[in-house]
Amino acid sequence: MAFEVKVPTVGESITEVTIGRWNKKDGEFVDVNELICEIESDKATFELNAEKSGILKLNAKEGDTVAIGTVICSIEEGAGSAAAKPAANAAPAAAPAATPAAPAPAASNAAPVEVKIPTVGESITEVTLGAWSVKSGDAVKAGDLLLEIESDKATFELHAETTGTIEILSKSGDTVAIGTVVCKIVPGAGGASQAAAPASAPAATAAASSGGANYAGGHASPAAGKILNEKGVDASAVAGSGKDGRITKEDALKASAAPAAAAKPAAAASTAAPAAKASAAGRADDRVKMTSLRKTIARRLVAVKNETAMLTTFNEVDMKPVMDMRSKYKDTFKEKYGIGLGFMSFFTKAVCMALQEFPAVNAYIDGDEIVYHNFCDVSVAVSTPKGLVVPVIRNAETMSFNEIEAEIVRLATRARDGKLSIDEMSGGTFTITNGGIFGSMLSTPIINSPQSAILGMHNIVERPVAVGGQVVIRPIMYLALSYDHRIIDGRESVGFLVRVKQLLEDPSRLLLGV
């Protein structure tokens, strides 16, 4: 009897996925819960495991885009289990005979296992290869880290599926399509090499002294390599703080260009011509391929600009009341809840109250219909080393100040670690972005589609303002609300922003709900 394996639901509003790497071939036997393949949704890769044991029959190819619920393979339950048992019974008998003889020759007859780029997100067709942790000819074990790949929103690790000797087919920094074979592993050969390692300890020690024992050490990620090239710093002169000594972007940013600078005076002392060449070289252009994340951001921003009637309205907020309340209670708040009291919780609460009073700002257009949300899922823009991501605070209107602060910290931490899931980044109804942390005074943020509005916060600057007929110095923040004029009228956009201003300038309203 054939058991059908269908594409599961992987996220809100996602109707199709891309088939990534098949871990089993057509006609192979699979066990229950064994990984069959990887499927790519909007912002993450998901694993599909076998629910039955049997012989696998594939109905879709790697790279195919299929709808949710599509049957992509089937499992013949009877034949597979019967065929597997003789092989399992034969293994113990063969083991004694194989023990005296070296296992390497038998393993060398095995077909190489192709390691392909898995699907890492819906509509993503290519990724950038990061730093390889191994070199061609190295022995690897099943589960060993091979390399990192950069996808739409995060960096993913690619691990060895089997033990053997690796043959690398693509270089770090290459941009390759989903499903591309980037390396091959000859099963068994790696195990023989590792078994012989203790006998050749002196040779291994010598290799270690020359840098051969740690292949990640001294290797820079694509981003780090670009920065080092711009600075003129040799990667060998930089100490890596990443896994196994890998040079990270942060290491490259901290690296000093002193070695390169020291070499130039010596060259200049010999003749003036090299100095002129060095000057010319300093004006050279570097061409670096856009990462998958940057291309996706560019495509979506242009789409929003072209497909919405986006306008921006501005207002200013006197932040003194919020700052006074925060200063008064921040120590008590931290002591009680174990988390700091920031400005984002005030803005999130104010936005939720305003959204409930102006529902059009919390809606979106779906075809010829307007969908109004009866809840507030507030997206918070977070800048990460890989680019901008927008995780979502679910049901923010029901949360307290400490719950909002804790959720913001949790999401921001996962975002910077590249560990956000698709559910944590999808389904927001309204977005808040804080350019003020970078010193921005005023900006016009772009709507986070399919939402209809986004609130931009900016830096707080002391300015002279008139209060009660007198000029006083107050901490002022400019607020910007960008909105889709197709669904939100001027009265609603201005009214929403004024309401947020009122709530922030009298934060007791947030507690009383008035």
Report the share of the chain in percent with pLDDT over 90. 26
Residue 316: other Cβ atoms inside 10 A: 15
Between CA 243 and CA 253 the distance in angstroms is: 17
User: CB of 233 within 8 A of CB of 239?
Assistant: no
Catalytic one among 152, 285, 485, 506? 485
The CATH homologous superfamily for domain 216-307 is E3-binding domain (4.10.320.10)
Looking at the domain 104-213, which fold is it?
Answer: OB fold (Dihydrolipoamide Acetyltransferase, E2P) (2.40.50)
* Sequence-separated contacts (24+) of 154-161 with Cβ below 8 Å: 154/43, 154/44, 154/120, 154/386, 154/418, 154/419, 154/420, 155/130, 155/386, 155/418, 156/45, 156/118, 156/120, 158/115, 158/117, 158/118, 158/182, 160/115, 160/185, 161/23, 161/113, 161/115, 161/185
Residue 277 is predicted with a pLDDT of 55
User: CB of 425 within 8 A of CB of 391?
Assistant: yes
Q: Which CATH number fits domain 1-101: 3.40.250.10, 3.40.50.150, 3.40.50.10800, 2.40.50.100?
A: 2.40.50.100
Q: What is the DSSP string of 277-323?
A: HHHHHHT-----PPPHHHHHHHHHHHHHHHHS-EEEEEEEEE-HHHH
User: SS3 sequence, 406-463?
Assistant: HHHHHHHHHHHCCCCCHHHHCCCCEEEEEHHHHCCCCCCCCCCCCCCEEEEECCEEEE
Q: Name which of 2-11, 21-30, 476-485 the model is least confident about.
A: 2-11
Question: One fold for both 1-101 and 104-213?
Answer: yes
HSE at residue 116, side-chain half, CA atoms within 13 A, is 20
Between CA 180 and CA 162 the distance in angstroms is: 18
- Longest Cα–Cα distance in the chain: 99
User: CB of 451 within 8 A of CB of 364?
Assistant: yes
Burial class (CB in 10 A: 0-12, 13-18, 19+), 210: exposed
Average pLDDT over residues 160-182: 85
For 296-352, the pLDDT digits (tens) are 778 888 888 888 889 999 999 999 999 999 999 989 999 999 988 989 999 999 999
Average pLDDT over residues 382-408: 88
Please say if the pLDDT value at position 291 is more than 60.
yes
Would the pTM of this model clear 0.85, i.e. be above it? no
DSSP state, residue 246: P
Q: Which of 105, 438, 417 is nearest to 248 (CA)?
A: 417
User: CB of 422 within 8 A of CB of 391?
Assistant: no
Q: Name the amino acid, one letter, at 433.
A: T
Residue 90 is predicted with a pLDDT of 43
Q: Name which of 77-91, 216-230, 447-461 the model is least confident about.
A: 77-91
User: CB of 32 within 8 A of CB of 50?
Assistant: yes
For 36-73, the pLDDT digits (tens) are 888 876 556 677 888 888 888 898 888 888 888 888 89
Report the share of the chain in percent with pLDDT over 70. 75
Residue with tokens 């391929």: 289
Residue with tokens 């609300």: 481
Between CA 52 and CA 417 the distance in angstroms is: 35
Between CA 430 and CA 450 the distance in angstroms is: 10
**Domain segments of the chain as ranges:** 1-101, 104-213, 216-307, 308-512
How wide is the angle at C-alpha 360 spanned by C-alphas 358 and 362, nearest 5°? 85
Dihedral (CA of 24, 26, 30, 36) sign: positive
Q: Which residue has the higher pLDDT, 154 or 381?
A: 381
Tokens for 287?
A: 């061409």
Tokens for 154?
A: 């995060």
The CATH homologous superfamily for domain 308-512 is Chloramphenicol acetyltransferase-like domain (3.30.559.10)
Please say if the pLDDT value at position 144 is more than 50.
yes
Q: Does 251 participate in catalysis according to the annotation?
A: no
Burial 12-32 (b: 16+ CB within 10 A, else e): eeeeebbbbbbbbeeeebbee
Catalytic one among 31, 324, 417, 489? 489
Residue 465 is predicted with a pLDDT of 92
User: CB of 214 within 8 A of CB of 142?
Assistant: no
Residue with tokens 């495991």: 49
Average pLDDT over residues 138-156: 77
User: CB of 325 within 8 A of CB of 342?
Assistant: no
Tokens for 72?
A: 């992509």
Please say if the pLDDT value at position 94 is more than 50.
no
Q: Does 244 participate in catalysis according to the annotation?
A: no
Q: Which residue has the higher pLDDT, 80 or 77?
A: 77
For 194-252, the pLDDT digits (tens) are 444 444 444 444 433 444 444 445 666 656 776 777 777 777 777 777 656 767 767 77
Burial 381-393 (b: 16+ CB within 10 A, else e): bbbbebbbbbbbb
For 458-510, the pLDDT digits (tens) are 999 999 999 889 999 999 999 999 999 999 999 999 999 999 999 999 998 88
Residue 325 is predicted with a pLDDT of 92
Residue 79 is predicted with a pLDDT of 54
